[in-house]
Structure formats: structure tokens, C-alpha cells
Amino acid sequence: MLTVSHVYYLAALLLAAAAWLNLRERHYGNALFWGILAAVFAGGDAVLSAHQAGNRWPAQCVGVGMLVLALLAGTGRLRRVEAATGELAERRASANRLGHRLFGPALLIAVITGALALGGKWLKIGDIALLSAQNSTLVALAIACSIALIAALRVTRAPVSRALSEHRRLLDTMGWAAVLPMLLAALGAVFLSTGVGDAIAAVTTAVIPVDSRVACVLAYAVGMLVFTMIMGNAFAAFPVMTGGIALPLLIGSHGADAAALGALGMLSGYCGTLLTPMAANFNMVPSALLELKNPYGVILAQWPTALALFAANIAFMLLFAFR
């Protein structure tokens, strides 16, 4: 059975390949950066099971590795490869020759991921499922990428080494922005265990007039927005704000409808996700991927949508939660 562990090993191989290619070109900063991550992906399951067994030094080693990653990124030791993917004229000629066939492998990723995510549970040999039910979309994505890679190698008639060097070029283009989401998740865990969320909820409830229904709705919505911006993730904000404001005040005292309030509260948080560099995989990674000059370019493009939608969301809360 294919599980998400196999997918992590595949990612470890790709990271190790990028580290090796950088090492050969004496880009030691990049090589160390991707090398540490390759080790984290290869040994991840072992670290977690050791941690559960009460053996903490492997997790502490990862912690030290994270400090090294941050120092490499923060001191500018990571180099981007200049966009030297063949000459522009060559790429245009190849584009003319291959035409729409180039779309095929790219669309295969989407189609196979979708098909396996929806129908993968029926793929069985005897009673053994081929795909694990947990994280099935990640397994589906990995299978889709593998099949699409074979298709891409056939369409472009390029050798496998070319696929690896192009992978390394894109990875170096994204640089540390690719790792930021993992680092932020770790920060979220620290905030959780140090009681940052409870402190924020306590401060919020201390300053709002609890008798006013509108004031409570505003406090809940703004709280979700701001706390999501700080944590970079509406999921982290939801239990804190809903437990601190929505349950006792809105649902308890003012009789709000829990289903509507919860859904709209979460969506208010999503408006905050559009506004914050802490939501790195949605806002900072694309800026790096699209090679924008301003790292905050994506946030600048979406803040008007986010604020207008946030206002609409507050109106929906007042309308639908108090029918």
C-alpha cells in the first residue's frame, strides 16, 4: 500500500538531488540548505516515533537544523541560479515545434490527482487498498507527478538529468520561501503551548462591550481576521476566537445560530489569510515562484478583495446568525 511516508521519501530524494547538484557547482550554502531538508524528510518518521517514545534528541537535532536554515537564509547565503534555461530563441522554436503537446503533461498532473482523489478508494488488489486513505490527495499528487514526468520526458525527448537540473533551478528560485510554511507551522505550535492564544482572547474580551450584539459580532470577526494574520492560518485562530468570544457571548448570551456563525467566522479568518506574509505558501511562495520584484506583490494585489469581502462577511453574520 502506498502511504504518505513513501511520498516523503520521494521528496527526500528530490531534495538530495538538488543538494548534490549545488554541491558540484560549489554553491555550498544552497547545498547545505537542501541537504538538511533532505535529511528531515528522510528521517522524519523516525524522529516522530522516537519523540513519541520519549526520546527527544532527534527532534532537538531538527530544531538545531532549523536554526541553521534560518541563518543561511537570513545571511544571504542562498544563491538563485540566473534564468539560464536555454536561450529564449531555442525555447520559442521548441514551443513552435511541440505546440499544444506541451500542455499534456501539465494537465495530466491535475487530471490524475483529481481522478485518484475521487476514485482512489476503489483501487484494490484483493482486499488490499493500493492507496492509503489518510492524506490520499498527497499520495494522489505524488503518483500524478510521477506519471506526468514520464509523459514530459517523452514529449520533450529530454534526458532524466535535464528534469533534475530544471527541478533544482526552480527550487533555488523559490529558495527559503518554500520552507517558510513549515517554519510557521512550528511557530504556531510554540504559540499554542506558550498560551499566546489564550492571552489574546483574554485581552479581547476585556475591552469589548459584551451587551451589544453588533459589538460582539465585530469583535469576533475582527478577532478572527487579526489573529489569522498573526498566525498565518485561520485554523489556529478558530478555536481561540470561537471559544473566547463566539461560544460564551454570541451563542450563549445573544442566541446566535452556531452553524452559520462558525462558517462565517472561519471565512472571516480566510480574509485575513489573504492579507498576511505569515500565510507564506499562499502569499510569499507565489511571489518567489513568479519572480516578482516586490515580495509582497501578491498581498498588494488581493487586499482590496479581502477587505470588501470581510465587510460582506460581517453583514452576512448579522443577517444569517440571528434569524
* Whole-Å CA distances, 61 to 43, 48, 72, 189: 11, 12, 17, 17
Whole-number Å distance between alpha carbons of 112 and 118: 10
Please state the closest distance from residue 24 (CB atom) to other proteins, in A. 18
Decide if 310 contacts 316 (C-beta within 8 A): no
C-beta of 1 vs 203, nearer to other proteins: 203
Whole-number Å distance between alpha carbons of 256 and 249: 9
Among 23, 129, 292, 318, binds other proteins (CB under 8 A): 292
Please state the closest distance from residue 202 (CB atom) to other proteins, in A. 6
Please state the closest distance from residue 84 (CB atom) to other proteins, in A. 10
The interface region with other proteins, picked from 23-31, 122-130, 212-220, 233-241 by CB under 8 A, is: 233-241
Q: Looking only at residues 153 through 212 of this chain, which bind other proteins when binding is defined by CB under 8 A?
A: 153, 155-156, 158, 162-164, 166-167, 169-171, 176-191, 193-196, 198-200, 202-203
Q: Looking only at residues 39 through 98 of this chain, which bind other proteins when binding is defined by CB under 8 A?
A: 40-41, 44, 47-48, 51, 56, 58-67, 69-71, 73-74, 85-86, 88, 91-96, 98
Please state the closest distance from residue 130 (CB atom) to other proteins, in A. 18
C-beta of 61 vs 210, nearer to other proteins: 61
C-beta of 64 vs 214, nearer to other proteins: 64
C-alpha cell at 292: 516578482
The torsion angles phi and psi of 124, rounded to 5 degrees, stand at: -140, 150
The interface region with other proteins, picked from 19-27, 101-109, 123-131, 212-220 by CB under 8 A, is: 101-109
Whole-number Å distance between alpha carbons of 29 and 52: 33
C-beta of 31 vs 125, nearer to other proteins: 31
C-beta of 210 vs 289, nearer to other proteins: 289
C-beta of 173 vs 208, nearer to other proteins: 173
Among 113, 221, 249, 254, binds other proteins (CB under 8 A): 113
Q: Looking only at residues 5 through 44 of this chain, which bind other proteins when binding is defined by CB under 8 A?
A: 7-8, 10-11, 14-15, 37, 40-41, 44
Q: Looking only at residues 241 through 270 of this chain, which bind other proteins when binding is defined by CB under 8 A?
A: 242-243, 247, 251, 258-260, 262-264, 266-267, 270
Please state the closest distance from residue 126 (CB atom) to other proteins, in A. 27
Interacting residues of 110 by C-beta distance below 8 A, sequence separation 6+: 144
